[in-house]
Structure 1
Amino acid sequence: MSTASTVTTGRTGYGSRPGAGAAELDLPHVPRPAEVAPRDARELSRLFFARLALLEEGTREHSYVRNTLIELNLALVRYAATRFRHRADQMDDIVQVGTIGLIKAIDRFELSREVEFATFAVPYVTGEIKRFFRDTSWAVHVPRRLQELRLDLAKATDELSQRLDRAPTTAQLAHHLGLDEEEIVEGIVAGNGYTAGSIDLPADDTSDGPPALADRLGGPDAALETVEDVESLKPLLAALSDRERRILRMRFGDEMTQAEIGAELGVSQMQVSRLLTRITARLRTGLLAAG
């Protein structure tokens, strides 16, 4: 190879050091591995893989060879990332995740496989990128089984829609995929969690269009708690004596003062106060016990 004998020493971006012993390992120093042409990178990679297999993991020499291999083959990550260029806003993350796939491929590759490293590595790189999208693209986390079912449903729906010239039914989707209808329904419901939008967004872009979803959503009815309290009080009130129910009616229904109640019953205001305290305490205890 023309460049192998002319490259000089240098530090790689992954931490390999000129002093790591490239000369001692009988390997060429590569000052900027990521800038090596693809053809030269393939030939250099064979040399470095052959040496890597003989080195003990964790040593300085092993790190140098492994890190150089990573940089030599970063072009594979960039190549795989072009398949996802429609997600340009995530390209930095895609390259980073794809590099993890490249590292896994390097750690598992063996020259004895008699296959080009690029052929071996690209599926690792793309697989890691797809796994990244699968795990982070969903607005709501759902099991992996349902994530994959959503893709199968989308494909089956397209095929059946073209064949039937209409949207397929749940039963037809189940028959096409060989699944139960319950699983199809579960997959459709789970698919709703792929994307999410704010309830404060307007329904459309027109100023006179329908209000935002938040404006049409109902809220808790405060009267419901009153209904529950009334229903809980009914048996407790039924257990009171006629005189006690009459006192409560005069005080809270007719809104009479304690003095007026005392005059009606022929007792003092103090007695009325004690009676009300005892009755309401009994009702309160009953409500707490019921709750």
Structure 2
Amino acid sequence: MAKPVEKVMGRDLREELVEQHQRLVYFVANQFRQSKMEWDDLVQIGFIGLIKAVDRYNPGIKKVKFSTFAFHYIRGEILHELRALKRHNPAMEVSVENVVEGGGEDDEIRLMDTLGTDPDEVETTVSNRVALEESMADLTDQEREVISFRFGKQWTQGEIAELFDVPEKRIRVIEQKAIRKLRRQMVR
């Protein structure tokens, strides 16, 4: 396990890194300006991601530049909050029975019609997706990141290990532990 960043870098260097990379927070937050979240909230959440990146970055063992490392944390933190906001917003809920109105009286289309499958199958798929997203919230940050890189971005365990500068075996262990947690959550 890596040493806490304060012991490796020192408090002054930590503060300096945050100060030097403020513009990166604004740059990333600007990419989400069209979202439903207020600008100030996006920036605050971005700074939380930057601080997490500073806390997890070890200049002695990381092979990537800090700005690259921090970019992923800032973006990930903002995305996490946007997903949480979307998940808890009843107006964003969609049922397979929801109707999308067309131009005429008989032009109504239900979501299950557009998906072209059995309504029960569609509802099961949607329910599984919601359950998976809720279960992901129970994972640690590290487990969530590994699962997101592995299955969301389709990275290999070797690529993830290189990013985090840990042995590939460690990524495999984290991935397996996260999958076990997700299975337990999904079975409930």
Using the size of structure 1 for normalisation, the TM-score is 0.31
Q: Higher relative contact order at CA 8 Å, sep ≥6: structure 1 or structure 2?
A: 2
Using the size of structure 2 for normalisation, the TM-score is 0.46
